[in-house]
């Protein structure tokens, strides 16, 4: 069903060349298998939570140390093999180093002014920036997993989770596995208007919706390139299953992610030869649409008051939380505004209100300068993966790039971390890049 498209060997740029690995080869290295397995456990966090709680009979242990160990093993293997991989562009690498230097400077600022704990500060930096800062150096991940295999693993998993989520919603029951995951993860807001929000095997409903959106973007790209009517009909059926599963989350940000991802995947697939000049604008167009949804809620909710995407109460809660933290930032002079307070949710006695806005979260953590660096670095990563997805012309890579393009828009509705892991999966699934 997942047919391989035409291969375009040029990766662009005079200093980077492709290895003989083709994006349509059904290859799967041992390290690639290990990393996609750890990636799935990292993204679908509820599976690990449920398994460890049941096995150990205690609180869940985090998966992130194992994922980090996997990265170290792959990096060591790449170094020992003598293959020097380039991750992306010099701008990405330089920006990452500048960002790291800034975080060290901010640590010293908060140590001097607020007498803050370095452990607390660095935990916030890890949660917000670690994997984004790591991405420009992830050339060692390339060439380990074909995008076709990656698509099969992600889509097949998404179908199962989508069906399970649909059952959860329409039976109005998360079942024992869903309830345990929710309790262990501290999830709340598990229903809407008396209906259950499906969470599949994720800690939060929106995470299920985001994962289904990623798979849907891949399927949309496959549909756009598929010529066989029967295969196209089967792919469309899969897309419908994913859409129903996403609906079952009753989560606005998941709906936005689903529509945006599919829209961008279709746009790139159909217009790929003509949109190179305008590719940089896509995230900002999606950001504008997200802001329109966010701020047009009063009028739209009065027209369709029971529609989840325009629910005024949850949007008002987000505005209230964002306003609270902005007042905290501006109440003690300009230093906090420029360098942040080093806070994240529950890291401070005054940080007990949920913050469902990615921009405000970064402002609170590292200030305006940190927000500018975050936007610039994530934008440079977008330019890289968007360019490569168009050049390589593989539906799986196009789908990943399409989901990543939503990061600015989705950050209006919450703190979203999946996009950085999708970018990491993109590196894992693309041909190896070598310095020539």
Q: Where are the domains of the chain?
A: 16-435
- Measured between its terminal Cα atoms, the distance across the chain in Å is 36
- Assess whether pLDDT exceeds 90 at residue 166: yes
**Residue 202 exposed, middle or buried by CB count within 10 Å (0-12, 13-18, 19+):** buried
Count CA atoms closer than 13 A to 7's CA, side-chain side: 15
| 198: nearest Cα among 242, 263, 256 | 242
What does DSSP assign to residue 309?
A: G
Q: How far is CA 355 from CA 32, 187, 317, in A?
A: 36, 14, 9
The C-alpha atoms of residue 390 and residue 380 are separated, in whole angstroms, by: 16
Q: How far is CA 195 from CA 182, 190, 247, 248, 305, in A?
A: 16, 9, 12, 9, 16
Residue range 383-432, pLDDT digits in tens:
999 989 988 899 999 999 999 999 999 999 888 889 999 999 999 998 87
The C-alpha atoms of residue 364 and residue 355 are separated, in whole angstroms, by: 10
pLDDT of residue 321: 81
- pLDDT band with cut points at 50, 70 and 90 for residue 273: low
Q: How far is CA 420 from CA 288, 378, 415, in A?
A: 21, 9, 12
**Mean pLDDT (whole number) for 203-223:** 95
Q: Which two tokens stand for residue 365?
A: 């953590």
| 150-164, 232-246, 289-303, 383-397: least confident range | 289-303
- pLDDT band with cut points at 50, 70 and 90 for residue 184: confident
The C-alpha atoms of residue 81 and residue 350 are separated, in whole angstroms, by: 50
- pLDDT band with cut points at 50, 70 and 90 for residue 274: low
In whole numbers, what is the pLDDT of the chain averaged over residues? 83
Q: Are 5 and 394 in contact (CB under 8 A)?
A: yes
The C-alpha atoms of residue 311 and residue 328 are separated, in whole angstroms, by: 27
Rounded (to 5) percent helix, strand, coil in the chain: 70, 5, 30
Share above pLDDT 70 across residues of the chain, in percent, rounded to a whole number: 83
pTM of the model: 0.87
Which H or E element spans position 423?
A: helix 418-429
Which string of b and e fits 244-281 if b means at least 16 CB within 10 Å? bbbbbbbbbbbbbbbbbbbbbbbbbbeebeeeeeebee
pLDDT of residue 190: 72
The C-alpha atoms of residue 23 and residue 4 are separated, in whole angstroms, by: 9
- pLDDT band with cut points at 50, 70 and 90 for residue 1: low
**Residue 421 exposed, middle or buried by CB count within 10 Å (0-12, 13-18, 19+):** middle
| 79-83, 207-211, 227-231, 258-262: least confident range | 79-83
The C-alpha atoms of residue 206 and residue 190 are separated, in whole angstroms, by: 11
Q: Are 251 and 413 in contact (CB under 8 A)?
A: no
pLDDT of residue 16: 39
Scanning 135-192, the segments in alpha helix (DSSP H) are: 147-171, 175-185
What does DSSP assign to residue 145?
A: B
The C-alpha atoms of residue 93 and residue 106 are separated, in whole angstroms, by: 20
pLDDT of residue 258: 97
Residue 260 three-state SS: helix
CA angle (262, 264, 265) in 5-degree steps: 60
The C-alpha atoms of residue 42 and residue 25 are separated, in whole angstroms, by: 26
Residue range 309-326, pLDDT digits in tens:
555 556 677 778 888 888
Scanning 44-146, the segments in alpha helix (DSSP H) are: 45-56, 64-80, 90-113, 118-134
Tokens 């060997």 belong to 9
Higher pLDDT, 373 or 435: 373
The C-alpha atoms of residue 265 and residue 242 are separated, in whole angstroms, by: 15
């Amino acid at each position: 069903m997942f047919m391989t498209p035409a291969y375009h060997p040029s990766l662009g740029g005079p200093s980077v060349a492709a290895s003989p690995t083709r994006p349509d080869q059904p290859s799967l290295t041992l390290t690639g298998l290990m990393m996609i397995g750890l990636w799935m456990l990292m993204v679908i966090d509820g599976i690990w939570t449920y398994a460890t709680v049941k096995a150990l009979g205690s609180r869940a242990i985090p998966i992130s140390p194992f994922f980090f160990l996997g990265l170290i093993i792959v990096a060591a293997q790449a170094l020992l093999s003598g293959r020097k991989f380039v991750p992306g562009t010099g701008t990405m690498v330089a920006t990452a180093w500048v960002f790291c230097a800034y975080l060290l400077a901010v640590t010293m600022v908060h140590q001097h002014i607020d007498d803050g704990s370095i452990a607390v500060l660095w935990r916030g930096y890890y949660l917000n920036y670690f994997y984004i800062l790591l991405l420009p150096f992830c050339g060692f991940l390339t060439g380990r997993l074909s995008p076709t295999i990656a698509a099969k693993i992600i889509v097949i998993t998404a179908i199962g989770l989508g069906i399970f989520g649909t059952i959860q919603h329409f039976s109005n029951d998360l079942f024992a596995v869903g309830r345990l995951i929710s309790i262990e993860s501290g999830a709340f807001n598990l229903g809407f208007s008396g209906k259950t929000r499906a969470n599949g095997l994720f800690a939060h409903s929106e995470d299920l919706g985001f994962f289904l959106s990623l798979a849907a973007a891949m399927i949309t790209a496959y549909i756009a390139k598929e010529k066989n009517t029967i295969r196209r009909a089967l792919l469309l059926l899969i897309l419908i299953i994913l859409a129903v599963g996403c609906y079952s989350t009753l989560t606005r940000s998941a709906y936005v992610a689903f529509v945006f991802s599919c829209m961008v995947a279709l746009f790139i697939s159909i217009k790929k030869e003509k949109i190179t000049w305008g590719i940089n604008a896509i995230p900002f167009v999606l950001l504008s649409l997200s802001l329109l949804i966010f701020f047009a809620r009063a009028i739209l909710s009065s027209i369709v008051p029971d529609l989840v995407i325009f629910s005024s109460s949850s949007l008002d809660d987000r505005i209230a939380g964002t306003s609270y933290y902005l007042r905290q930032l501006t109440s003690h002079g300009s230093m906090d505004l420029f360098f942040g307070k080093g806070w994240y949710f529950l890291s401070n006695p005054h940080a007990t209100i949920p913050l469902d806005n990615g921009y405000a979260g970064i402002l609170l953590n590292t200030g305006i300068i940190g927000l500018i660096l975050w936007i610039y670095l994530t934008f440079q990563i977008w330019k890289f993966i968007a360019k490569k997805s168009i050049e390589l012309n593989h539906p799986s890579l196009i789908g990943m790039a399409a989901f990543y393009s939503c990061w600015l828009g989705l950050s209006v509705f919450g703190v979203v971390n999946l996009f950085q892991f999708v970018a990491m999966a993109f590196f894992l699934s693309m041909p190896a890049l070598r310095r020539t």
